[in-house]
Amino acid sequence: MKQRSVSILLCVSCLLPSITFADESDATEEPAPSKIWTGSAELGIVATTGNTENQTVNFGIKAARETDNWRQTAEGKFLRIKEDDTKTADNMLLGLQIDRKLTKKDYLFGSIGYEQDEFAGFDNRADFLVGYGRKLVDEEVWK
């Protein structure tokens, strides 16, 4: 199962550079954006000792790129909790979404995701979505 997780992680990692190259072909149509990528990362580690020993590790990363016609978002999350050397939570989530803007409010999207969680009633699952989206509320108050 560990080898399968690494294989899926490598596949998603290979897709991320293609996002950059997909937009470069439209370079003549769009001006260069001031910010190419934005993102955030989080890391948490908690360890307690006493009558029981607990360790919690979580990691998350999210990156986004937006141009006049395209928006790409990639994210990954990991959580592991151990209590007295017994795993009680082990979750990994990877996702990638690409949006093609049609108008200021309308867009088409494609999304792939992978989740692994042996404590949630499934070992792993993958999804692939394609659809149409519309911003219903796009006011500064809601941003």
Is this model's pTM higher than 0.75 or not? no
In this prediction, residue 120 carries a pLDDT of: 86
- Residue 41 CA to residue 78 CA, distance in Å, equals 12
The 10s digit of each residue's pLDDT in 55-109 is 999 999 999 999 989 999 999 999 999 999 899 999 999 999 999 999 989 999 9
Q: Report residue 119's pLDDT band, with 50, 70 and 90 as the boundaries.
A: confident
Here the contacts of 22-26 (C-beta below 8 Å, separation 24 or greater) are 22/70, 22/98, 23/65, 23/67, 23/70, 23/72, 26/67, 26/69, 26/70
Torsion of CA 20, 78, 114, 68, to 10 degrees: -30
Mean pLDDT score across all residues of the chain: 81
Instruction: Note the Cα 41 to chain centre separation in Å.
Output: 11
